[in-house]
Structure 1
Amino acid sequence: MSGHDSQHCHHHDDEARDEVPYGQVAFGPALARRALLAGAGGALALAALPGTAQAARARVAGAASAAGAARASRITQGTTLVHADMHNHTVMSDGDGSAAAAFASMREAGLDVAALTDHATLFAIEGLSSGEWRTTGDLANAANDPGQFTAIRGFEWSHPLQGHINVWNTSDFADLLRASGPGNLYSWLTGRPGGLASFNHPGREPGRFNNFSFNASARDQLVGLEMFNRTDDYLFEGWSSGMTSPLVACLNAGWRPGLTGVTDEHGTTWGFHEGKGRSGLWVTENTRDAVFAAMAARRSFATRVSGLRVDATANGVRMGGVLGTASAGVRFLVDVDRGPEWDGKPLRIQVLRPGTSAPAVADVVDTVNGAVADFTVPLDAADGNWVVLRVSDPAAANGSPGPSGHPCNDLGVAYTSPWWLQP
């Protein structure tokens, strides 16, 4: 389905230097830009700043991604939608582009929240060095513009057999020397209470995070499961080889992640690819603290359509929340809108429930873009403690289908984060 990351050796700069600690922005946007130009890649950073020829070409290439729906939900209040891409690479691991150009490119593309997450592998041979970790923090601080654009430093813990896990909001990083397996990484993460993490392209590597072996102490900090990575829908990843749906395996194991989409960009046009994964986050403001709070609350949805708005409640509880019910009819309200380009477009909503190898589907509801779908489905905690809504395009096929005749063999457009039934 999706090819493995190709990693290569490269040079590192571990020289100690003065730095503004990550998370402490000490200067305004104008000074930030000058500092970025002077100290972090000069001409390469300049090439991607707004107003340059490269930026103009990128604006044309990404014109479609600039359109989209309004940012206010039709069914909830108190938060605003931001468009986010939390998984991107540069030449500091196995990407092609200068880290100095990445944040400017993603902001120019219309993203509101963006992260750099280069690989942490072993001994900095194919991934981050300590000097590059500092550089990523400096670049994020320089690009961060509270209220307008949130720039975040993270890393991708990368095990060739068990899988890859993104980590954000920590002051240091863990490679395979510091954390040799998923269990070691969870222990490392729980020692950093503000840190948040995500299962990346779940099921692509054969070990599948020790088959999603559950760690109760790390549950609240594992806030993401990538359902869209690059152009791929991971619902049935590995199905053709006899594997369980990663969504089913992860949630049945006891994890409680929000669902996300990411570009996993390895080229030089960060943010500009239509059809690649991205996330929607419902935030109280566009700042790092509010973004991390939304991730921790699982107020996220996965999509691969730029400008899409998805919000959903179940008995008044927002996606990512807990339903205090054992067995009852649950009323869902679902707000899906891509803006005028999709006016009248038929869409479909599948109500996903726990299954053994593929998700069970409790209901299928037809809707149209711009409408608020309102429907009630009987749910019983005895059948499993989670429910997810999948939004699809019934006119197109899923490139990675599951069992013959499964209702999710059409083209996935978005996934809400789960709700958990907890009587």
Structure 2
Amino acid sequence: MGRRALLSSAGGLLMLAAVPGTARAAQTVQAGSAVPQFAASRSSRLTQGTTLVHADMHNHTVMSDGDGSAQAAFGSMREAGLDVAALTDHATLFAIDGLSSGEWNTQAQLADAANDPGQFTALRGFEWSSPLEGHINVWNTGDFADLLKAPGPGNLYNWLAARPAGLASFNHPGREPGRFNEFAFRPAVLEQMVGLEMFNRTDDYLFEGWSAGRPSPLVVCLNSGWRPGLTGVTDEHGTTWGFHEGKGRSGLWVTENTRAGVFEAMRARRSFATRVSGLRVDATADGVRMGGALPIASGDVRFLVDIDRGPEWAGKPLRVQVLRPGTQVPTVVEVVDTVSGAVADLTVPLDAADGDWVVLRISDPSAANGTPGPAGHACNDFAVAYTSPWWLRP
């Protein structure tokens, strides 16, 4: 029986993956019941004018290679506690195990029916899918492009540039061998390429491919000139959308929880990647919010980092690592210990001559990175979150 003939309900039991340091690790939850919520405030201790929403922008259904009915997906994600959710089924050659035009229209209808401005933002998108070059999510376009319309990343960038409202993300970077033609830079879509997945499912992609002799996807992407926000996603292919602890998700700082508000936050790169539910992360560098530009050539930069996951993580030891450009992996120029519920305060000398970007990684020092990099690297511990980069613009 083909996937298009399968209709799966959202019932059944889901065993949540273990997350270091949480008492909820490995508990069993009935899919469709509410996931326990955390009490971390949605308001930043550092900035004003925006509210944190929890988002998952990468999910699949039976309309491509998922197992679940698209009719159940948005309801499941809202019930699981997400504030923003997208369906992004694969766009493949001749709709083989991928979206058809009819299904594309159906997803729009489902998203419109589920969308609840101010409370829950439901989005339709698609995942351009090349088995060699990589996968790219696209949102906010009226049509979609498969490998017939756009047989390579460059063709997709041309297609996207003709739809300036469209936004896109590099998905699970490094999983496919071509890695978007090694992240070959296209200035025409610089502002539209708003995402780089650092967490996909349970995986940290910082050192993806390192064991095979390839450089970090983060380093290659940012050194090539791209300026994406950093994100996490579940990339759900089952029937339990949203009900996963330990899988990727994103935090977005929005002026309002609407489609317009979500897309504005994505364009501003006011996002962080995490794989921990209920986490709040906000960060500034000399008062500039993550995702922004620092108008300096060199000098000391003061970072403030607001990290909180509510009472269950109160006082939990964490680390803030300052990542700077390297040729193969990021250079870690500072590591500071902190705890959940605190604002970390650190001052770091930066020089644009060493590279034009800086990223903060928040980690749990009590657990190991499942995909480690070079021996002794500071990021061989368990990543909890990544801020979006800042760019030095003298």
Specify if TM > 0.5: yes
Structure 1 counterpart of 2:35, from 38, 49, 63: 63
Asked whether the 8 Å contact 1:298–1:319 carries over to 2, the reply is yes
Identity of aligned residues (%): 78
- The yes-or-no answer on 1:147 pairing with 2:118 is yes
Q: Which residue of 2 aligns with 1:158?
A: 129
Residue segments in structure 1 that go unaligned for 5+ positions in a row: 1-7, 13-40, 49-55
Secondary structure of 2:299 counterpart: strand
Contact 2:87 2:125 in 1 (8 A): yes
In the TM superposition, what whole-angstrom CA distance separates every residue of 1:155-177 from its partner, at most 9, and x where no partner exists? 00000000000000000000000
Q: Deviation string for 1:19-64 (max 9, x for gaps)?
A: xxxxxxxxxxxxxxxxxxxxxx9x969x89xxxxxxx93355x534
Choose 1 or 2 for highest CA Rg.
1
- Letter of the structure 1 residue corresponding to residue 56 of structure 2: D
Q: In the alignment, is residue 87 of structure 1 matched against residue 24 of structure 2?
A: no
For residues 179 and 421 of structure 1, the distance between their equivalents in structure 2, rounded to whole angstroms, comes to 33
- Contact 2:32–2:76 (CA<8 Å) still a contact in 1? no
Residue 113 of structure 2 aligns to a residue in which SS? Answer: helix
State the 1:125 CA deviation: 1.2
1:77 maps onto 2:48 in alignment: yes
Larger helix fraction of residues: 1
Paired with 2:148 and 2:3, the residues of 1 have a C-alpha distance of: 19
Secondary structure of 1:393's match? strand
> Are the aligned partners of 1:390 and 1:415 in contact in 2 as well (CA < 8 Å)?
yes
Q: Deviations over 1:298-317 (max 9, x none)?
A: 00000000000000000000
Contact kept, 8 Å, 1:68 with 1:308, in 2: the verdict is no
Task: Please say if residues 10 and 125 of structure 1, whose CA atoms lie closer than 8 Å, have aligned partners that are also in contact.
Answer: no
* Cα distance between partner residues in 1 of 2:161 and 2:229: 18
Cα separation, 2, equivalents of 1:383 and 1:329: 14
**Runs of 4 or more off by more than 4 Å in structure 1?**
8-12
Partner of 2:357: 386
Aligned pair count?
A: 377
2:18 aligned partner: none
- Determine the C-alpha separation between the residues in 1 that align with 2:352 and 2:372: 27
Counterpart secondary structure, 1:243: coil
CA offsets 1:252-295 (integer angstroms, 9 cap, x no match):
00000000000000000000010000000000010000000000
Q: 1: distance between equivalents of 2:225 and 2:121?
A: 31
When the two chains are superposed, the root-mean-square deviation of aligned CA atoms in Å is 1.6
TM-score scaled by length of structure 2:
0.93
**What is the 5 A alignment of 1:275-290?**
275-290=246-261
CA distance in 2, matches of 1:59, 1:200: 27
TM-score calculated relative to the size of structure 1: 0.87
What are the equivalent positions in structure 2 for 1:310-329 lying under 5 Å apart? Answer: 310-329=281-300
Partner of 1:199: 170
Q: Take 1:273 and 1:152, find their aligned partners in 2: how far apart are those partners? A: 20
Whole-Å separation in 2 of the counterparts to 1:155 and 1:302: 20
State the secondary structure of the residue aligned to 2:182: helix
